[in-house]
Amino acid sequence: MNGLNMKFGWRDNFMDGLRPVRELENFSEINGVRAEIDAQGLKHKELNDLLFHLVKKGAREISIKNVFGQRYIGSRIFLPDAQDKVKIDVYNFPGNDLGVFLGGHYINVHGNAQDGVGNTMDSGQIVVHGRAGDVAAMSMRGGKVFIRDNVGYRTAIHMKEYKDKVPVLVIGGTAQDFFGEYMAGGKVILLGLNLKKDEYHKAHYIGTGMHGGVIYLRGNVEEHQLGKEVGVRQLDDSDWEVVTKYVKEYCGHFDVSEQEILAGKFQKLLPVSSRPYGNIYAY
């Protein structure tokens, strides 16, 4: 405990009293490549310590039950063989930064997720059978994220591409303000499936500061809802190939009609400059 905590009697509810992995094994069962964790009563570091411990013992299909706010799930799983993948099913409600820095693994969330889903994700896939909070896919540089319902503010902020990696984010519902803010790369598809007929998307300042990548938006949006750094274009054949491919994947995860979605009105948002604030830099 540091001096500040000693003076005021504060406790770190996340890090105080952490138990070693040997005491946490009672929260898990492993049978070959399959394992299960009961996360009730585990702090987020304990849960991630136990998760990585099971992976080192050979588990590759892991179910985590009773998750209520534990953070950073899946973030520390690095395996020497890049082809060696782990599939994680998360039940209930993971905390912030689910899959942060995810390196090629697969996470299914059977419930809602909080802020920062896929933060700086490198590769792999996250599927959320519910909604997600703010800054989903922040700085994501590879892999795919599918979210069934709505997302919060600043989704896809500073998403980027890296060499041959192109991140993909598909959202079934709508988004809050600053959607796609400062995007530098990647593909984002916003479907608006829970909007009523002729209802407009919720977000304002869409694509503010955007200087790379593309947003495909299904449904209606007013011009004043867009950032001044984006322009609106019609989809060409190559765009429809992209949209069709990822809408089909979305439908495969959530059992909805591909034909009904693709029959909707789509528009493409592109940056009008690769350096929108260049005139205010000193170099």
How far out from the chain centre does Cα 51 lie?
Answer: 20
Tell me the mean pLDDT in the region 132-156.
Answer: 98
5 — pLDDT class (breaks 50, 70, 90): low
- Which two structure tokens, joined as six digits, stand for 23? 């005491």
Q: Render pLDDT for 31-62 as a digit per residue (tens, 0 to 9).
A: 999 999 999 999 999 999 999 999 999 999 99
- The DSSP line for 93-132 is E--SSTTTT-EEEEEEEES---TTTTTT--EEEEEESS--
Express each pLDDT in 168-203 by its tens digit: 999 999 999 999 999 999 999 999 999 998 899 989
Report the pLDDT value the prediction gives residue 282, as an integer from 0 to 100: 63
For the chain, the residue count is: 283
Tell me what pLDDT residue 82 has: 83
- Amino acid at residue number 245: K
